[in-house]
């Protein structure tokens, strides 16, 4: 409930602080006194966008602050979702700065307007002619019926499962699209993978293969050069080895004359040993050298295949080809296993669809059960409100597909007068009738769920005294379960309040100010008398006012 409201530098209000109690609060005042200003300020607390033109003194900050007792509203989860600290005594503040910018705070924590609206919608419901249009909307009609049907838990479960259901459906469509695309590529991927598999890439040493090719392709040149090298080393008298032996003998003759000569001789000996080994290696290479056209063709072919694959796949390493082969095989496997994946996903969807149908049927039955009770109560209240011939028919039909509210279509049909036919509510009810219907519905809802504080903005416009008395009775009954405010011009309603505030204007130094005052018992009598008879208060008006208040 709203416990207090503070307004500073807003419209015609310099500064105003007012405390509110539970029950039925009456707000009265002459036309133009500033009741709309009070509503405008409250609307800012509820998240309405700010306007610099609403600031009284443009060089000063405008502040509007509402304090709420939310102990009975079960809003801990909402506070958590908004990342706010929960407090049963919650304060919402709006500030409009001189620059035109506005700020919003919940318990001194800065918040966005979206967060403010998310919370405030649970705190105060301002009921006006414009708001009655909600009554003609499907979502609101479902909300009304489901409140009476106690479908909250069923709808929560349905909402979670329908989200999962839609996610799975999107996933299935993606799999089917993926399958269509993969099938187009399947044969080509299979061909590419076969090419890569045939060459057995894991066993290929490209460097060794290229060396083998060079040897087989140049066997004659290699043979000639091996023989030539051997001749240079081993030719009699002129060969390198013979000449080295001669040098060794010469150095042996002088090796005794110093360590330097002995060292040179040892080095010549070492070179000779190395040349002997080289000569043996040359013999072995020459013996093993042979021309093999078939092997040359095999190696050449293998190299050609590898180079072609390099060019086709735009790579230069065998490891890259192995990675590509793995990727291709993965795509092939995905394509071949996709039917199983799709079948499993379809089974998941069927399973959750079965559960959704069960929940939707439960929701439907609950709605069907309460509709006659709701219609009966609604028509009885409307009869008291001067609409004795008003009849309602609520059509509830099961659909063949899921919606956000289950599997139902819902339509409120209305007939205002005898002899006419049922028609959609938005086509058959006038604005005044819609206001009374909305009042009746909210009075019924108050019996079933915890409604936020409600403020009726001149809902009694154009209503006769007797009907206004019934309206007042309804608001009074509602106020036993919730906080109710009503802005009224009718004394019959004004007299039923638990507390009474008057909005009025004063002129100070040629400046008009709007003020709000809580009336005591004597002041209430005078105010009700003025509402009955105008500014000239008669004794009969005073007596009538006292009678109404009693």
| Over residues 64-76, mean pLDDT | 92
| DSSP H helical ranges for 461-519 | 465-478, 491-494
35 pLDDT band, cuts 50/70/90, is confident
| Over residues 282-290, mean pLDDT | 76
Structure tokens at 317: 């390493």
* Residue 64 and residue 94 in contact, taking contact as beta carbons nearer than 8 Å: yes
Q: Does residue 186 carry a pLDDT above 90?
A: no
| Over residues 93-116, mean pLDDT | 91
pLDDT score for 75 = 92
| Over residues 391-403, mean pLDDT | 93
User: In this prediction, what percent of the chain has a pLDDT beyond 90?
Assistant: 40
202 pLDDT band, cuts 50/70/90, is confident
pLDDT score for 237 = 64
Q: How would you classify the pairing of strands 102-106 and 109-111? A: antiparallel
| Over residues 110-132, mean pLDDT | 85
Structure tokens at 246: 């001669």
pLDDT score for 536 = 76
**SS3 (DSSP) at 23:** coil
| Over residues 332-357, mean pLDDT | 89
525 pLDDT band, cuts 50/70/90, is very high
Q: Does residue 206 carry a pLDDT above 80?
A: no
Higher-scoring residue by pLDDT: 312, 146: 146
Q: Does residue 424 carry a pLDDT above 70?
A: yes
pLDDT score for 357 = 96
* Residue 128 and residue 457 in contact, taking contact as beta carbons nearer than 8 Å: yes
Q: At what angle do helices 259-288 and 219-234 cross, to 10 degrees?
A: 150
pLDDT score for 537 = 81
Give the Cα-Cα-Cα angle 497, 460, 435 (nearest 5 degrees).
120
pLDDT score for 429 = 81
User: Model confidence over 288-317: pLDDT tens digits?
Assistant: 777 777 767 777 777 877 788 888 888 878
Residue that the structure tokens 């959704």 belong to: 356
User: Dihedral of CA 329/330/331/333: which sign?
Assistant: positive
* Residue 455 and residue 5 in contact, taking contact as beta carbons nearer than 8 Å: no
pLDDT score for 154 = 95
- Cα separations in angstroms, 320 against 195, 323, 385: 14, 5, 84
Can you spell out the DSSP letters for 134-179? GGGSHHHHHHHHHHHHT-HHHHHHHHHHHHHHHHHHHHHHHHHHHH
pLDDT score for 104 = 93
d(CA 487, CA 116): 25
Closest CA to 497 of 487, 511, 512: 487
Highest mean pLDDT among 215-224, 334-343, 358-367: 358-367
| 3-state per-residue secondary structure call for 270-303 | HHHHHHHHHHHHHHHHHHHCCCCHHHHHHHHHHH
**SS3 (DSSP) at 541:** helix
Q: How many CB atoms lie within 10 A of CB 386?
A: 17
Q: Which of 23-37, 215-229, 320-334, 407-421 has the lowest mean pLDDT?
A: 215-229
pLDDT score for 33 = 67
d(CA 474, CA 160): 37
pLDDT score for 518 = 93
* Residue 440 and residue 381 in contact, taking contact as beta carbons nearer than 8 Å: yes
Structure tokens at 353: 């669809």
| Over residues 42-69, mean pLDDT | 87
Closest CA to 68 of 110, 119, 102, 31: 119
Residue that the structure tokens 């090719």 belong to: 213
Give the Cα-Cα-Cα angle 455, 100, 68 (nearest 5 degrees).
30
Structure tokens at 468: 């206004």
In the beta sheet, which residues pair with residue 506?
A: 513
* Phi, psi at 442, each rounded to 5°: -70, -30
pLDDT score for 130 = 61
Sheet bearing 499-508, strands edge to edge: 124-127, 453-457, 484-487, 24-28, 499-508, 511-518
Chain centroid to Cα 464, Å, comes to 49
Q: Does residue 407 carry a pLDDT above 90?
A: yes
User: Model confidence over 457-513: pLDDT tens digits?
Assistant: 878 777 777 888 899 999 999 999 999 999 998 999 999 999 999 998 888 888 888
pLDDT score for 129 = 63
Q: How would you classify the pairing of strands 24-28 and 484-487? A: parallel
Residues near 539 by beta carbon (within 8 Å), at least 6 away in sequence: none
* Residue 494 and residue 488 in contact, taking contact as beta carbons nearer than 8 Å: yes
Residues near 139 by beta carbon (within 8 Å), at least 6 away in sequence: 405
Quick one: DSSP state of residue 490? -
User: Model confidence over 431-451: pLDDT tens digits?
Assistant: 778 888 889 999 999 888 888
User: Model confidence over 233-249: pLDDT tens digits?
Assistant: 776 667 787 787 888 88
User: Model confidence over 498-521: pLDDT tens digits?
Assistant: 999 999 888 888 888 888 899 999
């Amino acid at each position: 409930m709203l416990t207090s409201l503070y307004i500073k530098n807003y419209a015609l209000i310099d500064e105003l602080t007012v405390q509110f109690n539970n029950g039925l609060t009456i707000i009265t005042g002459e036309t133009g006194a500033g009741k709309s200003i009070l509503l405008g300020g409250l609307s800012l607390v509820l998240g309405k966008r700010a306007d610099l033109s609403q600031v009284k003194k443009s060089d000063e900050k405008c502040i509007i602050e509402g304090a709420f007792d939310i102990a009975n509203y079960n809003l801990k989860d909402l506070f958590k979702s908004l990342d706010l600290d929960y407090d049963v005594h919650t304060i919402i503040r709006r500030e409009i700065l001189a620059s035109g910018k506005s700020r919003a705070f919940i318990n001194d924590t800065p918040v966005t307007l979206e967060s403010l609206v998310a919370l405030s919608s649970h705190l105060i419901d301002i009921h006006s002619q414009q708001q009655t249009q909600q009554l003609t909307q499907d979502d609101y009609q479902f909300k009304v019926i489901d409140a009476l049907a106690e479908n909250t838990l069923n709808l929560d479960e349905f909402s979670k499962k329908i989200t999962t259901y839609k996610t799975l459906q999107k996933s299935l469509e993606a799999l089917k699209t993926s399958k269509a695309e993969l099938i187009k590529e399947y044969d080509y991927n299979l061909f590419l993978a076969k090419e890569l598999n045939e060459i057995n890439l894991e066993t290929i040493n490209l460097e060794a293969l290229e060396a083998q090719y060079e040897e087989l392709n140049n066997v004659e040149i290699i043979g000639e050069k091996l023989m030539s090298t051997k001749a240079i080393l081993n030719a009699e008298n002129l060969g390198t080895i013979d000449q080295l032996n001669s040098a060794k003998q010469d150095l042996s003759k002088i090796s005794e004359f110093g360590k330097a000569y002995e060292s040179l001789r040892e080095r010549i000996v070492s070179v000779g040993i190395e040349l002997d080994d080289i000569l043996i290696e040359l013999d072995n290479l020459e013996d093993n050298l042979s021309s093999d056209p078939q092997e040359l063709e095999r190696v050449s072919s293998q190299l050609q295949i590898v180079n072609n694959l390099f060019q086709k796949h735009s790579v230069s390493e065998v490891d890259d080809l192995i990675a590509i082969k793995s990727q291709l095989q993965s795509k092939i496997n995905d394509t071949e296993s996709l039917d199983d994946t799709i079948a499993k996903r379809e089974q998941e969807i069927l399973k959750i669809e079965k559960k959704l149908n069960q929940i939707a049927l439960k929701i439907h039955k609950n709605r069907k059960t309460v509709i006659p009770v709701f219609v009966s109560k609604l028509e009885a209240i409307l009869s008291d409100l001067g609409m004795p011939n008003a009849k309602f028919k609520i059509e509830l039909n099961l659909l063949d597909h899921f919606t956000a509210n289950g599997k139902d279509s819902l339509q409120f049909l209305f007939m205002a007068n005898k002899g006419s036919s049922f028609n959609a509510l938005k086509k058959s009810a006038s604005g005044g009738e819609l206001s009374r219907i909305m009042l009746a519905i909210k009075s019924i809802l108050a019996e079933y769920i915890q409604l936020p504080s409600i403020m009726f903005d001149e809902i009694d416009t154009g209503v006769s005294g007797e009907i206004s008395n019934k309206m007042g009775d309804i608001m009074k009954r509602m106020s036993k379960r919730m906080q109710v405010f009503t802005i009224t011009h009718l004394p019959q309603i004004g007299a039923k309040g638990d507390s009474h505030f008057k909005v009025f204007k004063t002129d100070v130094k040629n400046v008009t100010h709007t003020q709000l005052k809580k009336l005591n018992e004597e002041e209430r009598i005078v105010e009700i008398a003025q509402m009955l008879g105008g500014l000239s208060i008669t004794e009969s008006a005073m007596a009538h006012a006292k009678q109404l208040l009693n």
